Amino acid sequence: MSMDNIKQLKTEFLEYLEIEKNRSQLTIRNYDHYLSFFLEWALIHRPEEITAELIRKFRLHLNRYKDKKEKSLKKVTQDYYIIALRGFLSYLAKRDIKTLPSEKVELGKTQEREVEFLQIEEIKRLISATRGNSLSDLRDRAILELLFSTGLRVSELTNLNRENINLKNGEFSVRGKGGKIRLVFISDSAKDSLVRYIEKRKDPDPALFINSKKAKTKNNKDISVSRLTPRSIQRIIKKYAIRAGIVKKVTPHTLRHSFATDLLMNGADIRSVQSMLGHSSITTTQIYTHITNQHLKDVHQQFHSKKLKGT
């Protein structure tokens, strides 16, 4: 196949992301989707056919695009397509293949990202909703406690093995995005929940969080287990949010946001929070500052110069 065939180059770019850049399979699938969408729309065969005018028309297409349900693409989603395209162009430039320079493709200005998080009273209600002493009850409480205690991404949580957790020291290392390793810490409450859950486990499976189901045998003693998936964790959290009467949309990432805002509101510096979240850039962590600024404003209005009122 000719080296100027753009679909072949796209495949080689995805392989480059996997091998040289150590990107996750999810990231690679997303980039494949975004670039395939672009190529199917553009109907081009060679890299030099990618021009500034073509990119301008593609951005218009993204902005006006509607799916089968007549839903438009959010601005942040449109940016994902452009980010993938810029990455592809940078890769082509690295190989000295003639095409549009990636720096000529700018991201559009988007609205400030809105962060949904739970107040501490809502966190207490959510965790308290895990009633019972069955294996699944203890597992679910441990999941909620650990997510709020550590700010883990859901993929990081589901990849954990029992041997990863040091309950004696109350800390463990986790491999995050880009293969970066960081240290996370377990609260006393989360530690207690994990101990109760792990002691209840009778299976030899190495995964920390499992979906256990008794096999249909005569004695019903055999147990079939499998590692929980991110989707399973999402369903678990949604169940307890409904049970706790929380009307907000609660996801694993909501608990990650709640972890970060709780730290900042209680005086943690943003660099420390960046490190605990595993953000490579402080800019990513700064999405939380407008929340804490509002908190400081509320504190100011509540406590400052009360004696001057009415003078």
Give the pair of three-digit tokens for residue 153. Answer: 């991404």
304 catalytic? Reply is no
- 229 φ, ψ to 5°? -95, 165
Per-residue DSSP letter, 94: H
Respond yes or no: is residue 256 known to be catalytic.
yes
Catalytic annotation, pick one of 86, 139, 141, 279: 279
Catalytic residue among 177, 182, 200, 239: 177
Backbone angles phi, psi at 305, to 5 degrees: 50, 45
The verdict on whether 177 is a catalytic residue reads yes
Residue 84, judged by CB atoms within 10 A of its CB (0-12, 13-18, 19+), counts as buried
Choose, from 95, 253, 257, 271, the residue flagged as catalytic: 253
Contact (CB, 8 A) for 116 and 254: yes
Q: Whose CA is closest to 99, among 46, 54, 34?
A: 46
Catalytic member of 86, 139, 256, 257: 256
61 flagged as catalytic: no
153 is catalytic: yes
- Of 10, 139, 153, 257, which is the active-site residue? 153
The DSSP element (H or E) to which 185 belongs, if any, is strand 181-185
The 3-state DSSP class for residue 291 equals helix
Q: Is 238 annotated in the active site?
A: no
List active site positions. 153, 177, 253, 256, 279, 288
